[in-house]
């Protein structure tokens, strides 16, 4: 018996927050990006988020962002939606990035709360409305106060849900009660942005996830949601718990997910390359631990 899951999936269900591969000298590796994107799609991702946090958006240029998007579109064609991260601390710049993403072939944009200036909720709402009005692309709000310093409060999200192009939320709020409140009062498609919440959020009506861990194990993340959809809730729980040690190593051990994802992908022989400063690469001990947890998961 399948589990009823009424939420639509405007950008897919198992999305990967894809890293941005660089060459060893630190330049954009478009060939590697194309190979990695094709691999992720073949292994279970039905959507990709480019130029997000894991994609090192703070240290890639506007031109690099568009080049990456165009190259990945060429690689995967129309098989999966591509969501482009266009967030910045500046509303005008965010609009410019959104228009450029539309021109480069994105299917949607991921827009983070403006950071550093810590705008009040009225200004936060105005920012998202301005971006949503600027192009024809659907918008995924990105609520990650741990990085931006500012929540998108549930009441603000509920008001924004009335905008025809604001269709989804990437949830890194760690406010499960607030998330359920929005789910109960809107038709927004919620995506778990924290890998430990993939199953929990899906079980209360989310559309899926935007996963950092999927860079390494896309099929294992997709399998959690497959099992739940098939009504195999006990198996879904087991699959979520099996991936927990790797999730902890990649996102909860003190290193940014970009750093751990690139370290593990490098050990697996997949395109990754170095991180850009101010990030530093993972050390040998952390890299060994990541590989050990990956091998343990894949052997299970």
Active site residues: 142, 170
Q: How would you classify residue 26: left for phi > 0, otherwise alpha for psi between -120 and 50, otherwise beta? A: left
Q: CA-CA distance, 293 to 198, in Å (whole number)?
A: 19
Bin 12: left if φ > 0, else alpha if -120 < ψ < 50, else beta: left
d(CA 12, CA 14): 6
Residue-wise DSSP of the chain: -PPP-----BTBSEEEE----B-TTSSB-HHHHHHHHHHHHHTT-SEEEESSTTTTGGGS-HHHHHHHHHHHHHHHTTSS-EEEE---S-HHHHHHHHHHHHHHT-SEEEEEPPPSS---HHHHHHHHHHHHHHSSS-EEEEE-HHHHS----HHHHHHHTTSTTEEEEEE----HHHHHHHHHH---EEEE-SGGGHHHHHHTT--EEEESGGGT-HHHHHHHHHHHHTT-HHHHHHHHHHHHHHHHHHHSSSS-HHHHHHHHHHHTT-S--PPPTTS-PPPHHHHHHHHHHHHHHHH-
Tokens 């200036």 -> residue: 117
Name 108's bridge partners: 83
């Amino acid at each position: 018996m399948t589990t009823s899951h009424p939420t639509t999936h405007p950008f897919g269900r198992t999305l990967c927050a894809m890293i941005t591969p660089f060459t060893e000298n630190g330049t954009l590796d478009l060939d590697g990006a194309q190979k990695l994107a094709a691999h992720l799609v073949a292994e279970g991702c039905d959507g990709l988020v480019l130029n997000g946090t894991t994609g090192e958006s703070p240290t890639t240029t506007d031109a690099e962002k568009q080049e990456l998007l165009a190259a990945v579109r060429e690689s995967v064609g129309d098989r999966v939606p591509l969501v482009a991260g266009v967030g910045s601390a500046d509303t005008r710049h965010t609009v410019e990035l959104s228009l450029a993403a539309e021109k480069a072939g994105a299917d949607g944009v991921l827009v983070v709360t403006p950071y550093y200036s810590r705008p009040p909720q009225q200004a936060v709402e105005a920012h998202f409305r301005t971006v949503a009005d600027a192009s024809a692309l659907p918008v995924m709000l990105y609520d990650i106060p741990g990085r931006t310093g500012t929540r998108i409060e549930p009441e603000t999200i509920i008001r924004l849900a009335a905008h025809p192009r604001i269709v989804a939320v990437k949830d890194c709020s760690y406010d499960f009660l607030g998330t359920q409140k929005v789910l109960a009062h809107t038709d927004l498609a919620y995506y778990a942005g924290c890998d430990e919440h993939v199953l929990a959020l899906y079980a209360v009506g989310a559309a899926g996830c935007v996963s950092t861990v999927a860079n390494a194990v896309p099929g294992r993340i997709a399998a959690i949601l497959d099992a739940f959809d098939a009504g195999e809730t006990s198996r879904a729980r087991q699959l979520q718990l099996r991936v927990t040690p790797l999730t902890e190593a990649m996102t909860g051990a003190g290193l940014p997910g970009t750093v751990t994802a690139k370290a593990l992908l490098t050990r697996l022989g997949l395109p990754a390359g170095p991180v850009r400063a101010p990030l530093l690469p993972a050390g040998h001990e952390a890299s060994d631990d990541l590989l050990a947890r990956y091998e343990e998961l894949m052997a299970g």
